Amino acid sequence: MAARAVSLNRKEEAGKLVLEAAGRWISSFAGQTEKLVTDAETRRAKSQAVAIDASHIEQLDTSGAWLLERMRRGFESGGAKAEIVGLDPRYKILLDEVQQTNTGKNAEEEHDHNAVENSLSYLGEMVTGFVRDTGEFVQFLGGVVVTFGRVLVRPWTFRLTSVVYHLDRVGFRSIPIIVLILFLIGGILAQQGIFHFRKFGAETFVVDMVGILVLREVGVLITSIMLAGRSGSAYTAELGSMKMREEVDALRVMGRDPMEILILPRMIALIIALPLLTFIGSMAALFGGMVTAWLYGGFTPEIFTERLRDAISWSTFWVGMIKAPFMGAVIGLVACVEGLRVQGSAESLGEHTTASVVKSIFLVIVLDGAFAIFFASIDW
Q: Which residues form the interface with other proteins (CB under 8 A)?
A: 1-2, 24, 26-31, 34, 58-59, 61-63, 66-67, 70, 90, 93-94, 97-98, 100-102, 104, 106-109, 343-348
How many Å separate Cα 268 from the centre of its chain? 25
> At closest approach, how far in Å is the CB of 335 from other proteins?
22
> At closest approach, how far in Å is the CB of 50 from other proteins?
20
State the distance between the two ends of the chain, measured CA to CA, in whole angstroms.
Answer: 86
Nearer to other proteins, 34 or 257 (CB): 34
- Could you give the CA distance from residue 371 to residue 361 in angstroms, rounded to a whole number? 15
Phi, psi dihedral angles at 116 (to 5 degrees): -60, -50
Q: 117: Cβ–Cβ under 8 A, 6 or more apart, which residues? A: none
Q: Which of 52, 81, 85 is nearest to 67 (CA)?
A: 52
In the sheet where 6-13 sits, what is the strand order? 6-13, 16-25, 49-60, 81-85
Kindly state the helix (H) or strand (E) to which residue 350 belongs, with its residue range: helix 346-377
- Contacts of the segment 369-372: beta carbons below 8 A, 24+ positions apart: 371/319, 371/322, 371/323, 371/326, 372/217
> At closest approach, how far in Å is the CB of 101 from other proteins?
4
Nearer to other proteins, 240 or 332 (CB): 240
Could you write out the three-class secondary structure of 217-263? HHHHHHHHHHHHHHHHHHHHHHHHHHHHCCHHHHHHHCCCCHHHHHH
Please name every residue paired with 83 in a beta bridge, in sequence order, or none if there are none. 51
Contact call for residues 52 and 83 (beta carbons, < 8 A): yes
- Could you give the CA distance from residue 54 to residue 85 in angstroms, rounded to a whole number? 6
Q: Which of 61, 206, 340 is nearest to 214 (CA)?
A: 206
**DSSP structure class, residue 40:** H
> At closest approach, how far in Å is the CB of 90 from other proteins?
4
Contact call for residues 274 and 328 (beta carbons, < 8 A): yes
> At closest approach, how far in Å is the CB of 38 from other proteins?
9
Nearer to other proteins, 88 or 136 (CB): 88
> At closest approach, how far in Å is the CB of 242 from other proteins?
16
> From residue 360, how far is each of 148, 222, 354 by CA, in Å?
22, 13, 10
Nearer to other proteins, 48 or 59 (CB): 59
> At closest approach, how far in Å is the CB of 241 from other proteins?
13
Nearer to other proteins, 72 or 307 (CB): 72
> At closest approach, how far in Å is the CB of 140 from other proteins?
23
> At closest approach, how far in Å is the CB of 81 from other proteins?
23
> At closest approach, how far in Å is the CB of 209 from other proteins?
48
Nearer to other proteins, 12 or 97 (CB): 97
